[in-house]
Amino acid sequence: MEPWPLWNLVLRTPRLELRPDEDAGLAELGRLAARGVHPPEEMPFGVPWTDAPAEEIPRNVMQYFWGQRNSLTAARWTLNFLIRLDGRVIGMQGVDGTDFAITREVTSGSWLGMAHQGKGYGTEARAAVLGLVFDHLAARRARTSLFVDNQASFRVSRKLGYVEDGTWSDVRRGKAATQLRMVVTAERFAEHRPGWRPEVTGLQPCLPLLGTGHSADRDD
């Protein structure tokens, strides 16, 4: 048996390939993050990890993702997909579930290196994981959150069918800031999804790790 079948899980879109994190890819992701994820005057993240010194960011990225990989259980899991364009890592797309077999809900978060932003890659990667969870895992809802001034993330969410689902007050760099919740149902995504579906391979052996013994289909 493959001890970590998630490394064989692959999502392919018209331009991108997404695979759960592995160490060589994480090192590449860390170097990408050190080159910049957002302008220094902005902070799109609830945890301001990009404020660390640039020389510390690659190690911090690897340790963070190692920790999430190490704590994965069927009751609480996070898949951190490395997004590749022409074989190069350009960012990450995460999706996580808590008691997914019962709730059928996931949440997601993502980022791209600055050189790769504004080209539709973020929308494509998010659509890929939504296709995975709705088409293959029978999820009912997917959630995300963002600071209200993060218009790029807001536009991606709206394009894929998300609707606003309330706000809460957060602290960002020592000041109050408002976070916006957004949610999309399987039915809404069906109405807003792009004109392609991700090619998903290697899923079946991963299902026990995700708290479900079977996929919504048996194509793979």
d(CA 85, CA 67): 26
Vertex 163, ends 160 and 169: CA angle to 5°? 120
* pLDDT tens, position by position, 14-33: 999 999 999 999 999 999 99
Phi-psi region of 109 (alpha: psi -120 to 50; beta: other; left: phi over 0): beta
Assess whether pLDDT exceeds 70 at residue 218: no
Taking Cα atoms as reference points, which of 37, 39, 205, 22 lies closest to residue 122?
37
pLDDT tens digits, one per residue of 46-102: 999 999 999 999 999 999 999 999 999 999 999 999 999 999 999 999 999 999 999
- Average pLDDT, stretch 116-145? 98
Q: How far apart are CA 7 and CA 20, in angstroms?
A: 6
For the chain, what are the domain ranges? 5-41+48-139+197-210
pLDDT band at 212 (very low <50, low <70, confident <90, very high): confident
Residue 213 pLDDT greater than 80, yes or no: no
Average pLDDT over residues 101-119: 97
Cα(41)–Cα(36) distance, rounded to whole angstroms? Answer: 12
Q: What is the SS3 assignment for 188?
A: helix
pLDDT at position 1 is 76
% of the chain residues with pLDDT over 70: 96
Q: How confident is the model at residue 214 (pLDDT cuts 50, 70, 90)?
A: low
Please give the model's pTM, rounded to 2 decimal places.
0.95
Q: Is the pLDDT of residue 183 over 90?
A: yes
What's 5-41+48-139+197-210's CATH class? alpha beta
